[in-house]
Amino acid sequence: MDIVSALRTFLRVAETGSFSAAAADLNLTQPAVSRQVAALEKHFNTRLLHRTTSGLSPTAEGERVLPIALRILGNVDDLGDALCPDGTRTSGKVKLALPAPLGLLLSDRLVDLLSAHPNLSLELAFREQASALIEEGIDLEVRIGAVADSSLICRRIGWTTAFLVAAPSYIARRSPPKVPADISAHDCICYARGGHGRAWLFSDGSEDIAVPISPRLVADNALSIHRAALAGAGLAILSHIIAVPDIYAGRLIHLMEDFPPARLPIYLVYPSRRNIPQRVKIVLDFLTALIDADPSMSERTTTTPCETPHMPAA
């Protein structure tokens, strides 16, 4: 028995409460996970998990093993990093869920991450709504706005910047809004997260202004709203990630610059801070650095960019 692998498997089962969820996370079969835990129990001659119809949980003995196992695995990871500091030892798959605009930004930069870690692989899931992390075997998720689930570990890594935009073909037919109250006279195409999309929030520099809307189109995917805006269907609020190139090229017009959309926090969430695998830490750190390098999202940016954006350098 490889006791290090067995300890790692036991920890993941204890965290997820499920053989199948741990198997998905560790890229193993469910029987393999069960065998490793059984072998560990045989090695210590004690039961480490309660097995019930409602799930799995550590026994009293299992609870005593957990902190010791964490220290052992932490030391093993530190030893590996010391012997191979260039990151080539990091291996395995990381499943990452994130909104489509951030997914596009990450996809443009992935070559740097994957080149630095040739044994690492990523599975990207574009999600506009919160996922069931443990049940779906998701290692990390990027969420926009407040995180309601107190059982998750949350790390704020930045802030959104968005722009109110419309296509020139739409503005040719309708007078552009100058203040938030003008929006009620316009066709709105709304990117709705989690079913919410009946009000838009703008800032006047001192407070947020909520504007009720009756959207002509609602979608839970930012890319579909982007396409509809380009086609001239109406006003839209779009992330700077997808709006800036079109504003720069004249395909979209940046509207109401004195009243930018309110900024929302960007969080990285994950199930537990205990025993975060090195492969997950690598992706977490890469995402944090990627967002911090963008002045429109960085935690260090304390003011809302409201002037017409410039096209970023390639």
Model's pTM, two decimal places? Answer: 0.70
> With bands split at pLDDT 50, 70 and 90, how would you rate the model's confidence at 310?
very low
Residue 132's contacts (CB-CB under 8 Å, 6 or more residues apart) are: 138
Residues 219-237: what's their mean pLDDT?
92
**Percent of the chain having pLDDT more than 90?**
29
- Over residues 147-187, the pLDDT tens digits come to 776 667 888 999 999 999 999 999 999 999 999 999 988 99
Query: What is the reported pLDDT for 161?
Result: 92
Query: What is the reported pLDDT for 193?
Result: 63
Tokens at 156, concatenated: 């704020």
Tokens at 114, concatenated: 């994957």
3-class SS at 306?
Answer: coil
- Distance in angstroms (rounded) separating the CA atoms of residues 230 and 307: 21
**CB 1, CB 43: distance < 8 Å:** yes
Q: Is the dihedral of CA 139, 141, 147, 149 positive or negative?
A: negative
- Over residues 30-78, the pLDDT tens digits come to 889 899 999 989 888 999 998 877 778 889 888 888 888 877 877 776 6
**CB 163, CB 243: distance < 8 Å:** yes
- Distance in angstroms (rounded) separating the CA atoms of residues 100 and 186: 26
> Which is it for strands 91-98 and 49-52: parallel, antiparallel or unpaired?
unpaired
